[in-house]
Copies of this chain bind each other. A is one copy, B any other.
Amino acid sequence: MEIPQKEDILKRFPQFEQSLLDDILAHSTIREVEEGEEVMRTGQYIRSTVLLLSGLLKVYREDDEGNEFLMYYLEPGNACAMSMMCTARDEQSQIMAKAVTEAEVILIPSHLSEQWLAKYKSWHNFVIASYRQRFEELLQTLDSIAFKGLDERLLFYLKRHVKVSGKEIRLSHQQIALELNSSREVISRLLKKLEQTGAITLHRNYIEVHDLELV
């Protein structure tokens, strides 16, 4: 794989200072992951902080019976907050992360990302901001599960999906059901209802979104 240039990283992380960029280039490794590949598994030990350079990752929770639900998506320029937190104590991951599209991630050895907190102000700020952002997104997810019916959760899910990957949602009903921890038939029915309002059009394996706001 070609080695990414400083400019590539700078483009995604414009807030980093020069010397930090140099440090990143010098000491971290880049990994290219394929679509569908698991970047992080529940129970796995974490030895690096994960930054996303390109592509899209989904971060989700999985229980012992194989149920799952989506926590949030990570876009280029984001970091996996869990990887930062675990980092500090060499702990196990509590979550799953999977590449939705093919993606490039930067892996920073734990001890360095730890050192950099003190060394680089911009890194420190980035870490704190990441924590906060993920915490907030998690709270939103929690809200929608705790307070909303499945119809609203589906809407929320679709909106989020549109935001990260556009108005053509290339997912089967089955996949959506999985991420919402529901079942295909129920999702099918709800989508059908949404189609009747004119907000979306259903096709095989993809959903065309027109306008979700006016539902």
Closest B residue by C-beta to A85: B132
Cβ-based interface call for A136 (8 A): yes
Interface of A is mostly: helix
8 Å CB contact of A136 from B88, B94, B146? B94
Report chain B residues within 8 Å CB of A141. Answer: 142
Residues 124-147 of A contacting B (Cβ, < 8 Å): 124-125, 128-129, 131-132, 135-136, 138-139, 141-143, 145-147
Cβ-based interface call for A63 (8 A): yes
Contact surface of A with B, Cβ cutoff 8 Å? 61, 63, 65, 67, 69, 81-82, 85-86, 88-89, 91, 94-95, 117-118, 124-125, 128-129, 131-132, 135-136, 138-139, 141-143, 145-147, 181
